[in-house]
Amino acid sequence: MSFRNRLRFEHQLAALVGLLCLALVGATVGGAVWLERRSAIQLAEARLARLATGMAETLDVTLRERFREIQVVAGLEPLRERWSSDATMVRGVLAAMRTTAPDYAWLGFVSADGRIRVGTDGLLEGMAMNGRAWFETGLARPNVGDVHEAVLLSRLLVRAEPEPLRLVDVAAPVRDAAGGVIGVLAGHLSWDWAIRARRRLLDEDLPGTDLWVLDRRGHVILGPRLGTMPFGPARIGAMVEQGSGRFTAALGTETVLAGFASAATGERSGIAGGDPGLGWIVVATRPEAQALAPVRRSVQALLALGAAAAVIGIALAWCLGRRAAAPLRRMTAAADRIGREAEATTLPRLDGAREFVALSAALRSLLRRIGTVERELNDATTRSTRVAAFYRRQIEDLRQVAGTDVLTGLLNRRGFAGPAEEAFAQARGGRCGVAVLVVDIDHFKRVNDQHGHDAGDAVIRHVGALLAETVRGSDTVARFGGEEFVVLLLGLGGSEAGLIAERLCVAARGAEIAHGGRAIAVTVSIGVATVSARDPDIQAAIARADAALYEAKARGRDRVSVAVETEEIERAA
């Protein structure tokens, strides 16, 4: 029986070491495959990122040159007196510009009344451009417009490209010697230059590579499936935030590697001072399967090498198991005695291999360290007590954070409860007067509907900051939710609180909130109430102020309504 048990143990040990060998070989081969695959993906993504950056730089350079060219020509001193008087000379200047930069589909001078006075090849002359974004903006400042399909010129120009004619508008104001605007110098830059640049870059790259140019909303303006949105809003937002980089994404049924770069078509490229930029994003993609094709051949060779190493490792494991079985069995018996017999406290020194001798010495040392471990356990208990105290302090800090409104940084309803109850106790004790203002932003839903929820958040933050700046340091401002705020005024009566409320209305009415290139005007309605000795709690005063707020809204908004005091109501009754 002992012989069979011994053989079984050896087999198990050999199997264990063999499995360990297989695991190591598998991990090594798998790690090598992973590293090669990762390296191939990184190289492909880096190449795609460089391709996207090259396309973005091409877009930037061309737009920057055309934009500066339009500004320079519009400001030429010798032409100041000839724009409106010498159409032949102006037509020659425009023709020379078009010869220098053939990417212009059309150049023209539009007088201040909106009529095209001169156009290249006489095209569109006499037509009215009033209402066109490039013209209206060009009267005020130089500007670059986003890509759009040509409406008028598509029927007048002959092109070699099969795609519909699309244009990028550049315009700059033309001023006379006195500085007055007499018209707009405009150029319609054919999008064909971008199409050719994309085609040239793709011809120089690996097969399967594609280039996309997306507008700021993520729609394709250059590349396959124009107008579609191949990437989701989250991906578009990440690309806008990062500016450049690389990623892997699923497009349809295949996984693609991608590199992206934002075209610097705003202030940092020198285009249109104050213009937020066109926000174009260039994305270069290549199917992951094509990028990893060379890796598959390496994987096959690595798998064959790993299989051979695994076979050798199993054979060595069998030999090792046979030699290791006897010393390990003696070690097991000695350890069993220590567990069963109280007087057995040490292990015997093993004979044979140096490793087993060292193992027995280490185990004897381990037994001697049991007392030390017990002392360390007591120390750990003490440390855990200190850690628990630390976490209690952290929990208290979190409770304080829970009382703060995330959007405005003001107190929320929960955080407002403490100061409000303290102020109510002072009012009931006759130590000071307390007034409550309930403030509501007028027509807030209209702000969200017309400008978006981001604008709504900006309005809420602005009004919250306005309230905090206008009241005194001893007063408390809180956001109760939505567009509603509550202000707690200490040491004031109803008339004084009403004056402060009027001042808040005037401040809100005179402020304009800039968001997304637009100015948003807001007003507020305010209900005012003072804490009465008959109030059961602060909520009674807030309720009266809330009722006064609705009265202010019913009377037309953008005004203050002061609640009638409880004592006055009773005297009137």
* Residue ranges of the chain with per-residue pLDDT less than 50: 1-4, 266-276, 371, 569-573
* pLDDT computed for residue 325 by the predictor: 62
Question: Cα-flanking dihedrals φ and ψ of residue 30, to 5°?
Answer: -60, -40
- Of 48, 494, 477, the C-alpha closest to 284 is 48
List the end-to-end C-alpha distance of the chain, in Å, as a whole number.
108
* Under 8 Å between Cβ of 542 and 560: no
Widest CA span of the chain, in angstroms? Answer: 120
User: How many angstroms separate the CA atoms of 365 and 359, rounded?
Assistant: 10
User: How many angstroms separate the CA atoms of 280 and 262, rounded?
Assistant: 6
Strands (E), 349-483: 434-441, 476-481
Helix (H, G, I), strand (E, B) or coil at 285: strand
Amino acid 255 reads T
* pLDDT computed for residue 356 by the predictor: 64
The string of pLDDT tens digits covering residues 186-243 is: 999 989 889 999 999 989 888 889 999 999 889 999 988 888 999 999 999 999 889 8
**Residue 23 corresponds to which tokens in the numbers above?**
């695991």
Contacts for 37 with CB less than 8 Å, ≥ 6 apart: 292, 295
* pLDDT computed for residue 527 by the predictor: 95
Q: Where in the chain is the domain with CATH 3.30.450.20?
A: 42-291
User: How many angstroms separate the CA atoms of 387 and 399, rounded?
Assistant: 19
CA distances from 550 to 335, 438, 477, 489, 553 (A): 84, 10, 20, 20, 5
Token pair 């003696």 is found at 330
* pLDDT computed for residue 160 by the predictor: 67
- Fold observed for domain 413-572: Alpha-Beta Plaits (3.30.70)
Amino acid 352 reads G
Q: Where in the chain is the domain with CATH 3.30.70.270?
A: 413-572
CATH label, 42-291, candidates 3.40.50.1220, 2.40.50.140, 3.30.450.20, 3.10.129.10: 3.30.450.20
- Of 48, 40, 57, the C-alpha closest to 258 is 48
User: How many angstroms separate the CA atoms of 419 and 409, rounded?
Assistant: 16
Q: What is the DSSP letter of 268?
A: G
